[in-house]
């Protein structure tokens, strides 16, 4: 006989195991950082992404092994309503209730038909409002400079993190930190008795840096800040900068960067704290930044539903050149695009659907260095037909018919990706001033350099595959031709030795699928002479085959670049 209490307990047990293992692999980060073991941090960050799906599958297998589930796609309606009610009660004083809700949703949605994906059976709407709020103070400690003075308080804050590596010169760093704070926050009260520090208990680890995140509370208000900590080769640690502007903080927590590794017992509390520091960040974006990408999916879906309830707009085709692999659409008032893999690819794309899926997963697991947009992957997403414009519906039927299903007044898309919407670089350049063109082409070249420094070869480097953000950052977003840089063969164009060779230049040498000729880069990506000349002036290295080959050698030698996600002007001028 089916037992709702037992089933609810087993699902929560599965979530507990997931969260425990998630925290254990996250705990690798501080140890690896202290040892400057960057490969370990990269591996842990990539491995952690699959933990959630593994635990969901294990939970489903255990439920089936105990023969307590009907094997059909049709749930026992009353049984699952009872299970949901019991599960909700189990979360009343749970430290991770929102994550546990999403885990429950995942188990149910993999078991049953999407026709049952409503609030009677899953947590479409969160029940957090019905539960005691976890105070954000659970995730931070407060420090009071009036007791021991400002500099000693900063020493105490650093000491709390128990870094096992000594600092090169902590006293010098503290002086630079105080000086920068006074310069960046001239309107704040700076006397020790006029402020309080609230510091998140765990550092945020990513790539080669640890970040201290906190805020200064004074009579002037709240001043958020981030302090990056880096290694100086084998000599110790140092404070690298002070970031106080919310716009800079949002870039550090941006959608084009790898997920942070940070230990937390109460994710909702830490997200609430971060949201106060960066009010323009949505909960979905913050959960994603912390590595809770499944919770980010849940939050995003709720944000989408809220937006659809607030507008009479319809989805329409996204601006830009039509892609050969994806059909892309958007809702004008919602800053995202929705991408569906086409049934048939255009000429020049000698691969299939499985290759596209694998390459998007590659980027998901890789260090995106602030240059590759994160993607949210969904299955069986229901859109009210009334929200789809006639022209878009016709395009979808023509290009992605196999991914569509119609039920009553709903359009079901079986699989899609969602990304942050940006202005395609080729469209941006059509109306850009010369100064703006110079800025974004410098950004384009820098984006390529930063991607190849972490072993990513974008493949199709056409300008239409890059977007421009509101901060004029250039981000890559089309991954169907992404490969590892070390898998490519960078070659110099053969030089003609005589007139006959010159006449035969285009046919006298063979080209393998992985061959790349950097000298042709600017000719390939644009026909605009002004744009081409700017790119050649700003980034001549990109046309040099030796530059690309050296990047490959660096990767094979495990030499990793430290790409700072904040302006160089904010970095302290350390005198080593």
Coil, strand or helix at 495: coil
Cβ 42 vs Cβ 367: under 8 Å: yes
For residues 101 and 104, what is the distance between their CA atoms, to the nearest angstrom?
Answer: 5
For residues 448 and 551, what is the distance between their CA atoms, to the nearest angstrom?
Answer: 12
Backbone φ and ψ for 193, nearest 5 degrees, come out as: -80, 0
Cβ 317 vs Cβ 395: under 8 Å: yes
- Residues of the binding site for ATP: 318-324, 339
HSE (CB half, 13 Å, CA atoms) of 181? Answer: 22
Cβ 130 vs Cβ 177: under 8 Å: no
Please give the positions annotated as active site. 374
- Residues of the binding site: 318-324, 339
Cβ neighbours, 10 Å, residue 38: 18
Single out the residue of 176, 168, 22, 161 nearest to residue 99, CA to CA: 22
What is the β-pairing status of strands 204-206 and 209-218? antiparallel
Cβ 235 vs Cβ 305: under 8 Å: no
Residue 221: left (phi > 0), alpha (psi -120 to 50), or beta?
A: left
75: tokens are 């749930």
Cβ 220 vs Cβ 195: under 8 Å: no
The partner residues of 382 in beta bridges, in order of sequence, read 412
- Which residues have CB under 8 Å from 497's CB, separation 6+? none
């Amino acid at each position: 006989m089916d037992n709702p209490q037992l089933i609810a307990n087993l699902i929560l047990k599965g979530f507990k195991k997931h969260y425990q293992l998630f925290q254990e692999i996250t705990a690798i980060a501080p140890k690896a950082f202290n040892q400057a073991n960057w490969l370990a941090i990269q591996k842990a960050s990539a491995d952690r992404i699959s933990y959630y799906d593994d635990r969901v599958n294990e939970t489903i297998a255990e439920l089936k092994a105990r023969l307590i589930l009907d094997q059909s796609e049709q749930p026992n309606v009353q049984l699952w309503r009872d299970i949901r009610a019991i599960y909700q009660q189990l979360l009343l004083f749970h430290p991770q209730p929102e994550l546990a809700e999403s885990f429950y949703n995942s188990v149910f949605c993999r078991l049953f038909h999407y026709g049952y994906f409503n609030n009677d059976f899953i947590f479409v709407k969160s029940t957090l409002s019905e539960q005691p709020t976890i105070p954000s103070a659970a995730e931070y400690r407060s420090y009071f400079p009036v007791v021991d003075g400002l500099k000693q308080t900063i020493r105490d804050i650093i000491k709390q993190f128990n870094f096992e590596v000594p600092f090169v010169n902590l006293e010098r760093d503290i002086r630079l930190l105080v000086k920068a704070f006074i310069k960046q926050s001239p309107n704040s009260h700076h006397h020790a008795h006029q402020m309080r520090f609230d510091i998140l208990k765990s550092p945020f680890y990513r790539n080669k840096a640890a970040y201290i995140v906190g805020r200064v509370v004074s009579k002037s208000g709240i001043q958020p800040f981030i302090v990056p900590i880096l290694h100086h080769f084998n000599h110790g640690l140092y404070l690298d900068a002070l970031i106080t502007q919310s716009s800079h903080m949002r870039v550090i927590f941006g959608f084009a960067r790898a997920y942070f590794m940070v230990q937390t017992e109460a994710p909702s509390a830490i997200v609430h704290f971060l949201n106060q520091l960066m009010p323009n960040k949505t909960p979905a974006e913050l959960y994603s930044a912390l590595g809770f990408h499944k919770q980010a999916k849940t939050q995003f879906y709720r944000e989408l539903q809220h937006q659809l309830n607030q507008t009479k707009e319809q989805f329409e085709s996204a601006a830009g050149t039509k892609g050969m692999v994806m059909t892309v659409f958007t809702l004008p008032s919602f800053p995202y695009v929705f991408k569906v893999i086409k049934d048939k690819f255009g000429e020049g794309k000698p691969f299939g659907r499985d290759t596209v899926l694998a390459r998007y997963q590659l980027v998901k697991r890789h260090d995106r260095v602030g240059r590759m947009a994160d993607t949210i992957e969904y299955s069986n997403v229901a859109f009210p037909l009334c929200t789809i414009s006639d022209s878009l519906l016709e395009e979808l039927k023509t290009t992605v018919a196999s991914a569509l299903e119609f039920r009553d007044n709903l359009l079901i898309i079986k699989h899609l990706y969602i990304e942050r919407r940006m202005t395609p670089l080729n469209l941006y350049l059509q109306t850009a001033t010369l100064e703006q063109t110079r800025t974004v082409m410098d950004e384009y070249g820098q984006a390529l350099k930063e991607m190849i420094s972490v072993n990513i070869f974008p493949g199709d480097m056409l300008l239409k595959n890059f977007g421009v953000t509101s901060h004029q950052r250039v981000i890559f977003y089309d991954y169907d031709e992404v490969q590892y840089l070390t898998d490519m063969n960078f070659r110099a164009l053969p030089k003609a030795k005589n007139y006959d060779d010159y006449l035969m230049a285009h046919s006298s040498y063979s080209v393998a699928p992985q061959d790349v000729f950097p000298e042709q880069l600017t000719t390939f990506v644009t026909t605009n002479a002004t744009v081409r000349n700017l790119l050649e002036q700003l980034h001549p290295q990109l046309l040099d085959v030796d530059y690309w080959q050296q990047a490959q050698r660096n990767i094979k030698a495990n030499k990793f670049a430290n790409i700072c996600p904040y302006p160089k002007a904010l970095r302290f001028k350390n005198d080593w």
